[in-house]
Amino acid sequence: MKTFLKIIGFLFLGIVYTSLNCQAQSTINPFQFEIKKKLICKNGAVVSAHALASQAGVEILKMGGNAIDAAIATQLALAVVHPSAGNLGGGGFLVMQLQNGSSKTIDYREMAPASSHRNMYLDENGNAQFDKSQSGHLSSGVPGTVAGLFASHKYARLSFEKLIQPAIELAEKGFVISEREASSLNGLKQEFLKFNTVTPDFVKETKWKAGDTLIQKDLANTLKRISKNGAAGFYEGETAKLIVEEMQRGGGIISLNDLKNYRAIEREPHIFNYKGFTILGMPMPSSGGLLLHQMMKMIEKKPIATYGFQSPQAVQLMVEAERRAFADRAAFMGDADFYKVPVAEISSDKYLTKRMEDFVPGKAGNSQLIQPGILPAKESEETTHLNVIDKDGNAVSVTTTLNNSYGSRTIVGGAGFLMNDEMDDFSIKPGTPNMYGALGGEANAIEPGKRMLSSMTPTIVLKNNKPYLLVGTPGGTTIPTSVFQTIVNILDFEMSTEDAVWKPKFHHQWMPDRVDLERGFLPTTRKELETMGYKIVERGSIGRTEVIKKLRNGKFEVIADNRGDDAAEGW
């Protein structure tokens, strides 16, 4: 066994960034911890947006918990140590493959409140009011996360009290923040003051700096109520009362009944085959599974491996698949409990082959001409992803979100957690882009009780029916395209897992008609794409992708994205 791979980080105020083979972990020390970017281990692994959350998950695995236990503990810890996206006041999706060979998904997406209506964000002239759908009290959907954690707990082994304990301690005693976290809290101080009637723990007189301790007493008390009373500790009683009072102080519409009536839903995964691998993804109301299916099938028959990673031919082919899938998203996708989404039709081989008939190698497509497909019959990016695997063969891939970074920026007074601004993921005005520039129509219009369309793409790739790759990322509409590229990088280009994750990515989403290239992208390919007629926009980080890969020797390779403080843990 290799003992040492390489040190890729540095000592920084109690946080050490490393890349090592894994060893037994000591108990969590929230004031001094390492950020590991790559690990190889054999008993179980967790990769998430924060080292302390990954450690919380691994501690649970060591206590005899399975991957589901660890995923619950990791999410709860993220709600404390990664407040920009980890959450109690948001929602998410979980895909799991269990040791008995069965697979499930849990939908805990937020829901439109009972008194919502399709025109609630339009002014008297019919103009979309994004200030209301993207921040503050009215932008929140009914949170789903806590219901989702309890729905997953059915598949776990340990008591919920055990799983929530690390989060309670992290909130109560505090943890040391990084420079990145300090700078994001400082940058949002005015927003936190603007959208809150009770000053939250994220605001202090002087500037935050790396090495400061963030203590969240109100959040600790909310977590204790959940520990004691279960989901009712959030959806009823004191916490529910605090949520509704907060809503009323700021013009929000979530009611006690909305909270009491919220349910997480177990759904069958969206499953498809790619070159002999079985891919498990999320069905509606996430577009993630279906978009991934469409994009992968549109390229499956092309000799992409011979084109090579980041070659103009490969990038062009994938961009055109992305364009066509996102055109279909805008027209056809929404909560399938409210709108008939033609899933089978737009994922059939016949449809997808036809969809690529107008693809011209070497010439940019045009989104005015390439509209949503003709149906055969009639017709903050701030999210967070985690993967967990255990030695018994259970695997969990979870993406959760508040939508924007720190969601609505409204913290429930006295309860200490952020509310989401997920209502903006509905099509608040058909044909008008949302904060990710995504278009939508009738399929994704607001209706009471409906869940807004998502791009979250928690994914498990099976080889011989056993978990082989666990993949996911935050990034709004760039989520499905990043997952697509990461899987193609590994399966087709046979890249090392860290290169597949860490190398620059690209993105096309039909409208606006342009290719986003991540900083550092190969300049020669950029030039060739421009010659083909593509409009190119260079941008900063695309996503924060986390991957666990099962190696041939049975061990787990765990890769945390180097675009953030994301961290791998295992034993």
For the bound state, the minimum distance from the C-beta of residue 311 to ligand GLY, rounded and expressed in Å, comes to 29
Residue with Cβ nearer ligand GLY (135 or 401): 401
Stretch that binds ligand GLY, among 137-145, 261-269, 351-359, 449-457 (CB under 6 A): 449-457
Q: Is residue 476 within the footprint of ligand GLY (CB under 6 A)?
A: yes
Three-state DSSP at 36 gives strand
Is 113 among the residues that bind ligand GLY (CB under 6 A)?
no
Least distance between ligand GLY and beta carbon 92 (Å) = 9
Smallest distance from ligand GLY to CB 2, Å: 38
Q: What is the CA radius of gyration of the chain?
A: 22
* Nearer of residues 55 and 482 to ligand GLY, judged by Cβ: 482
Backbone dihedral angles phi then psi of residue 18, each to the nearest 5 degrees: -140, 170
Q: Which of residues 168-187 bind ligand GLY (CB under 6 A)?
A: none
Q: Which stretch binds ligand GLY (CB under 6 A): 119-127, 197-205, 296-304, 452-460?
A: 452-460
CB 199 to ligand GLY: min, Å: 27
Is 524 considered catalytic here?
Answer: no
Q: Cβ closer to ligand GLY: 221 or 403?
A: 403
Output DSSP code: residue 248: H
425 near ligand GLY, judged by CB under 6 A: yes
Instruction: Name every residue whose Cβ is closer than 8 Å to that of residue 450 and which is 6 or more positions away in sequence.
Output: 111, 112, 334, 335, 337, 338, 426
Cβ-Cβ contacts under 8 Å for 105 (sequence gap 6 or more): 93, 94, 95, 96, 266, 267, 268, 269, 280, 282, 283
Beta strands 33-36 and 15-18 are parallel
- Whichever of 178 and 455 has its CB closer to ligand GLY, that residue is 455
| Ordered alpha helix ranges (H), 154-213 | 160-173, 179-187, 189-194
* Beta-strand pair 265-267/459-463: unpaired
Judged by CB under 6 A, does residue 403 bind ligand GLY? yes
Contact stretch for ligand GLY (CB under 6 A) within 201-209, 329-337, 448-456, 489-497: 448-456
Nearer to ligand GLY, 314 or 331 (CB): 331
Q: Are 491 and 433 in contact (CB under 8 A)?
A: no
Scored b (16 or more CB within 10 A) or e, 513-544 reads bbbbbbeebbeebbebbeebebeeeeeebbbb
Distance separating alpha carbons of residues 400 and 70, to the nearest angstrom: 15
DSSP state of 31: T
Q: Please give the backbone phi and psi of residue 94, each rounded to the nearest 5 degrees, phi first.
A: -130, 130
Query: Would you count residue 328 as binding ligand GLY (CB under 6 A)?
Result: no
- Give the 3-state secondary structure of 517-568: EECCCCHHHHHHHHHHCCCEEEECCCCCCEEEEECCCCCEEEECCCCCCCEE
Residue 454, interface with ligand GLY (CB under 6 A)? yes
User: Minimum distance between the CB of residue 169 and ligand GLY, rounded to whole angstroms?
Assistant: 29
Which residue among the candidates 18, 383, 477, 497 is catalytic per the annotation? 383
Residue from the set 88, 325, 456, 515 that interacts with ligand GLY by CB under 6 A? 456
The tokens describing 399, both together, are 């993406």
Ranges within 364-383 binding ligand GLY (CB under 6 A): 383
Q: How many residues bind ligand GLY (CB under 6 A)?
A: 9
Query: Does 401 participate in binding ligand GLY (rule CB under 6 A)?
Result: yes
Q: Which of 455, 486, 509, 545 binds ligand GLY (CB under 6 A)?
A: 455
Per CB under 6 A, residues contacting ligand GLY are 383, 401, 403, 422, 425, 454-456, 476
Active site residues: 383
